[in-house]
Structure 1
Amino acid sequence: MTQATQADAAASFDPLRPKLMRVAYRMLGSVADAEDMVQEAFIRWMGADRAEVREPEAFLRRTVTRLCLDQLKSARRQRETYVGPWLPDPVVEEEEVEDVTLPLMLALERLSPLERAAFLLHDVFGLGFEEVAATIQRDAAACRQLAARARTHVREARPRFHVEKERGLELAEAFFKASRSGDMNAFGAMLAADVSIHADGGGKRSAAIMPIIGFDAVMKVHEKLAALFRANGSKLLRVGFVNGLPGFITMEADGEIQTTALEIEGGKVAAIYVVRNPDKLRHLH
């Protein structure tokens, strides 16, 4: 393949790369795996008869989706042996992303690969069922059923309370200050009665191997953590939206970063999602 041919393939592919990454990441929940799938799609694009492709975006979306469906089979086997709660790789953005928040991505984990693809392509990316059918190689009626089943499973994961951007960022910053300073009165005032903590260390950094549920349990854990933070330090690097939820990135005493995302319901913190697994944080460095 000549350099000119490669340049031509890249020129038509690169503008579509961000859209393809959105599809792949939402399918897989892993930034590294999504990048691999998109790169594999680019390799196939270079080898394709591009003159015969009428709609490059549709062609490449189909390619990426099918690669992700294959990848999901091995990913599920890996997650069966994962240490502690599994959370998707954190993606930190300046603006709130409402289409696929962290709770919704966790709900997608309970779907079959085909249900996940049909739901994302139709309900999130707005494709018609004929296009969904062509992408996942099922007929349109079957795709409607797949999307309907998926919708039933994920309905509860849709955000019920909208938090204004500035208010969300204020809550995230206030949560950081209260949790690190040990001001347990201020910290407790922010929590819902059924608040929960989900910490993903992947067996590579210390983290609870089961979710911590309930106000009293969460307060007890953070009383201990506050003492550690005061003794060893915890530096705020950035406040933003982590997978669509208000949150922040910190540098911890072990020299590693971590992300914290807050699910807000009725002005209170209903769930705390902490990613500590260094493999899931490399792209943030």
Structure 2
Amino acid sequence: MSTPSGPGHGRPDPHLSVIISERRQLTNLAYRLLGSLAEAEDAVQETYARWYALTPPQRDAIESPGAWLTTVASRICLNLLGSARVRRERYVGPWVPEPLPDRTEWGQGAPGGTAVDPADRVTLDESVHMAFLVVLDAMTPAERVAFILHDVFRYPFADIAEIVGRTPAACRQLASSARRRLRVARPPATSAAQRAGVVRGFKQAWEERDIAALIVLLDPDATAIGDGGGLARAHPRPIEGGERIARAYVAFADAAPSLMLLERTVNGRPGLVAQRDGVTVTVYAFEVAGDRITHIWAVRNPDKLRPWTQG
């Protein structure tokens, strides 16, 4: 974003370097709150637009531009989360958070390790793992905002209370409730190397159409969810059970023999990317517990894959 001066006010903004340096932080925050990189970038743009809608004296009176921007961005996201629930009711098929574009080959180094990190990239850590985002999406907007601001970004509850319109005590309860949800959903600890080995084994078995090998790698109660958004073919409902998933994925591979599977980092963990003629058509994220896959999220909606196909 290039905003060298306050639009319409005729003089350079003395806070320019400060507010530009906040862009990454704001995008980090908005992505975690919204589960969509496109919506996060829109929220950040709107935040900057509101900054420059202020008069120079109004901007000069703001003691901490960074805190002001975070407050405004959080409120914008809070409003968007409310309207997102209405949009989800009209969404075709299951909705999965938008995967972060990352061309890192996890087979070439430690998954989640250092990657290219331009200013507009979201930091890949535990709070952007797909399983984490899926649990966040089931929370109320206020619960989600209180938890992310406090537990991820270390904002005090007094500041969060002003954003969500609740008391500090109520915000503390919201964050505590969110924490309980995440603890219940969190699988047993699995090392990065173990996750990578399981996903690689799944890729090889899938390429070989080896149903028996796939069943071994899938938890008996595993779930696979496909998000096509009505724009790409995907199962209209989650596929339940390891054997059913194995057979469905082999049938899919048989129907699309030209697909190439690539090992790629997806939201900080080992994932797979399916390409046809060099174009990404599906991004797969996995949850692994021990030596088995418990969840697969397949994002096929081309709108959500646009960052993976550009550049």
Per the normalisation by structure 2, the TM-score is 0.82
The correspondence for 1:234, drawn from 245, 248, 259, is 259
Tell me if 1:114 matches 2:142: yes
- Deviates further, 249-258 or 36-45: 249-258
Tell me if 1:68 matches 2:77: yes
Tell me if 1:204 matches 2:211: no
Tell me if 1:59 matches 2:86: no
Shift of 1:151: 2.4
Letter in structure 1 aligned against 2:50: R
Report the equivalent of 1:284: 308
- Deviates further, 109-118 or 249-258: 249-258
| 1:12-161 mapped onto 2 (5 Å cutoff) | 12-48=18-54, 49-93=58-102, 94=104, 95=112, 97-161=125-189
Change (3 A) 1:168 1:154: closer
Paired residues of 2:202 and 2:217 also in contact (CA < 8 A): yes
Cα deviation per residue 1:34-89 (whole Å; 9 max; x = unaligned)? 11110011111223322222222221111000001111122111101111111000
Letter in structure 2 aligned against 1:223: V
Shift of 1:173: 3.2
Change (3 A) 1:142 1:184: same
Q: Work out the CA distance in 1 between the residues paired with 2:210 and 2:31.
A: 37
- Secondary structure, counterpart of 1:91 in structure 2: coil
Change (3 A) 1:247 1:9: same
Greater helix fraction, Structure 1 or Structure 2: 1
Q: Work out the CA distance in 2 between the residues paired with 1:65 and 1:115.
A: 13
Q: Work out the CA distance in 2 between the residues paired with 1:210 and 1:245.
A: 25
Letter in structure 2 aligned against 1:40: E
Shift of 1:157: 2.4
Q: Work out the CA distance in 1 between the residues paired with 2:278 and 2:231.
A: 12
- Secondary structure, counterpart of 1:5 in structure 2: coil
Paired residues of 2:215 and 2:243 also in contact (CA < 8 A): no
Report the equivalent of 1:178: 205
Return structure 1 stretches of 4+ with deviation > 6 angstroms: none
The correspondence for 2:222, drawn from 195, 219, 235, is 195
Paired residues of 2:126 and 2:132 also in contact (CA < 8 A): no
- Secondary structure, counterpart of 2:60 in structure 1: helix
- Secondary structure, counterpart of 1:11 in structure 2: helix
Paired residues of 1:115 and 1:149 also in contact (CA < 8 A): yes
Paired residues of 1:180 and 1:234 also in contact (CA < 8 A): no
RMSD: 2.2
Shift of 1:189: 2.5
What is the number of residues matched between the two proteins? 280
- Deviates further, 63-72 or 221-230: 221-230
Change (3 A) 1:193 1:238: closer
Gaps of 5+ in 2: 1-7, 105-111, 113-123
Change (3 A) 1:3 1:195: farther
- Secondary structure, counterpart of 2:91 in structure 1: coil
Change (3 A) 1:216 1:187: closer
Report the equivalent of 1:5: 12
Per the normalisation by structure 1, the TM-score is 0.89
Q: Work out the CA distance in 2 between the residues paired with 1:85 and 1:253.
A: 27
- Secondary structure, counterpart of 1:149 in structure 2: helix
Shift of 1:196: 1.3
Q: Work out the CA distance in 2 between the residues paired with 1:176 and 1:250.
A: 11
Q: Work out the CA distance in 1 between the residues paired with 2:59 and 2:228.
A: 44
Gaps of 5+ in 1: none
- Identical aligned residues as a percent: 36
Paired residues of 2:36 and 2:98 also in contact (CA < 8 A): yes
Shift of 1:170: 3.9
Letter in structure 2 aligned against 1:35: E
Report the equivalent of 2:296: 272
